[in-house]
Amino acid sequence: MIVGIPKEIKDNEYRVGMVPAGVKTLTDNGHTVLVEEGAGEGSGITNGEYSEAGGDLVSCEQVWTRAELIVKVKEPVEPEYQRLRERQILFTYLHLAPLPGLTRVLLEKKVVGIAYETIKEEDGSLPLLTPMSEVAGRMAIQIGAQYLEKSQGGRGILLSGVPGVPPAQVVILGGGIVGLNSAKSALGMGAHVTVLDNNVHKLRYLDDVFLGRVATLASNSLTIAHSIRKADLLVGAVLIPGAAAPKLVTREMISTMKKGAVIVDVAVDQGGCIETTHPTTHSHPTFYVDGVLHYCVANMPGAVPRTSTFALTNATLPYVQKLANLGVSRAVRSDPALCEGLNVFEGHVTYRAVADSQGVPFRPILDLLN
Ligand SMILES: NC(=O)c1ccc[n+]([C@@H]2O[C@H](COP(=O)([O-])OP(=O)(O)OC[C@H]3O[C@@H](n4cnc5c(N)ncnc54)[C@H](O)[C@@H]3O)[C@@H](O)[C@H]2O)c1
C-alpha cells in the first residue's frame, strides 16, 4: 500500500502522524511511505531521518494525490478538504460530531474515515486517547509545581518540602489515566497525594499499585469540600464518557481554598470539573478566581510535541500496519477495536453517535462490507 504522511497545518499543531521507526516497519513490510518534506520539523524529526528509514520525501501535493492511506494527527482543516480523494483511507483524530462541514466533505468524497478517538477495546478502554492522557496527567504536576512558585503567581511552595518542612498537598479528582499519571508524578516529586474517585475499583487499584502511599477517598461533595480546603495543587481529571464533565468543585468551594493554590483542570476539554473553569491557551494559560490560580489549557500535550508524537505513534502503528497489510475490509473484520474506529465509509456514516449528532442515517459497517 502507498501510505502518506502529510505535515500538519492546523494552527499550533506540531505533532506528526508517523515517526521514522513506523516508516521503517512499513517499508520492511513492502509498503511505500511518502513523507511530506518538513513533516517532522515540529517534533524535532529531520527529513534525513525519514529517508534513512526508507521513506520517500515528497511535496504535500504528491502525498495527497498518491497515497491510498493517509496517516495524520488532527482532522483535516479547510485547505486540506479539496485534497481528499475518493476511497482514500484517512486515519487520524476526527472528532466529527461537532463538525458537520467536514463530515459532509468526507461523505461527498466517499472517504474511508477511521477516527483514533473511537477505537475501543473490549474492556471499554480507548487505546489512542490513553497516550495523550498519560502525557497530560504527568504534565499537570510539572505545570502545577511551576505555578506554585511565588514568581509565577503561586503560594511559594516546593512540592517536596524539605527536611523539617512538610510537602505540598496534591489533590486529584478522578483516578483514571490522567489521575494515575498525576499521582505517579506527584509522588515521585515528594508531594503528599490524595486521589478521589467514585469508582471503588479504581481506588482499590491505586491503593494496590502505590502500596498505600497515595491516600484514596470515595468522591462525594463532602470529601471533595474537605480535601480541596487543604490542597496546594488540585488536579481535575474526571471523565464521564460521552458527557460533559460534572462540576464537582463549586464556585463557593473555591473561596474556601488557600490563596495562591493552583488548579490544573485537565478535564477542561469536556467542559472542566471545576465550576470556575474556562478553556485557556498555551499563550494565555492562566487566570485567577478568588486568589486561586487556574490553568485550563485544552490541548496540554501540544506543549511537548516530541514526546506526544512518539507516544501517539507507538499506539497508532499496530493499526496502521494492520490497515496497510490487510486493507480496510479485512482489517476491520479481524479487529473489533479498529472496527469501532470507522466513522465514515464510502458515503455512509458508520458511527452511531456521529450519525445521531448530525441527523443523518447510520449504517453499520459490517452490513456495508457484506
Ligand atoms: N487538557 C488536555 O490537554 C487533556 C489531555 C488528555 C486528556 N484530557 C481529559 O482528561 C479527562 C480525564 O481523562 P482520563 O483519560 O483520565 O479518563 P478516565 O476515564 O481514564 O478517568 C476518569 C475518571 O473519572 C472518574 N470519575 C467519574 N465521575 C467521578 C466523580 N463524580 N468523582 C470522582 N471521579 C469520577 C472515573 O471513575 C474515572 O476513574 C478527560 O476529559 C480527557 O478528555 C485532557
In 3D, which of 24, 4, 16 has the Cα closest to residue 45? Answer: 16
pLDDT at site 12: 85
Q: Residues 264, 144: contact at Cβ < 8 Å?
A: yes
Ligand 1 center to 215 CA (angstroms): 18
Nearest CA to ligand 1 atom 18: 176
Ligand 1 center to 178 CA (angstroms): 6
* Closest atom of ligand 1 to CA, residue 246: 31
For the chain, 370 residues long, give each residue's pLDDT as a single digit of tens.
999 999 999 988 999 999 999 999 999 999 999 999 999 999 999 999 999 999 999 999 999 999 999 999 999 999 999 999 999 999 999 989 888 999 999 999 999 999 999 999 999 999 999 999 999 999 999 999 999 999 999 999 999 999 999 999 999 999 999 999 999 999 999 999 999 999 999 999 999 999 999 999 999 999 999 999 999 999 999 998 767 899 999 999 999 999 999 999 999 988 899 999 999 999 999 999 999 999 999 899 999 999 999 999 999 999 999 999 999 999 999 999 999 999 999 999 999 999 998 899 999 999 998 8
pLDDT at site 358: 86
Ligand 1 center to 273 CA (angstroms): 9
pLDDT at site 241: 74
Any idea which residues carry the catalytic annotation?
95, 269
**Regarding beta strands 342-345 and 348-349, do their DSSP bridges make them parallel or antiparallel, or are they unpaired?**
antiparallel
Ligand 1 center to 52 CA (angstroms): 40
* Closest atom of ligand 1 to CA, residue 265: 1
Nearest CA to ligand 1 atom 39: 176
Nearest CA to ligand 1 atom 33: 197
For ligand 1, residues with CB inside 6 Å are 132-133, 136, 173-179, 196-199, 202, 219, 237-240, 245-246, 248, 266-270, 298-301
* Closest atom of ligand 1 to CA, residue 237: 12
Backbone angles phi, psi at 72, to 5 degrees: -130, -170
CA distances from 160 to 180, 187, 188, 271, 294 (A): 18, 9, 9, 31, 21
pLDDT at site 242: 67
* CB under 8 A, 24+ apart: contacts of 35-40: 35/5, 35/63, 36/4, 36/5, 36/6, 36/7, 36/60, 36/63, 37/7, 38/7, 39/5, 39/6, 39/7, 39/8, 40/16
pLDDT tens column, 85-129: 999 999 999 989 888 999 999 999 999 999 999 999 999 999 999
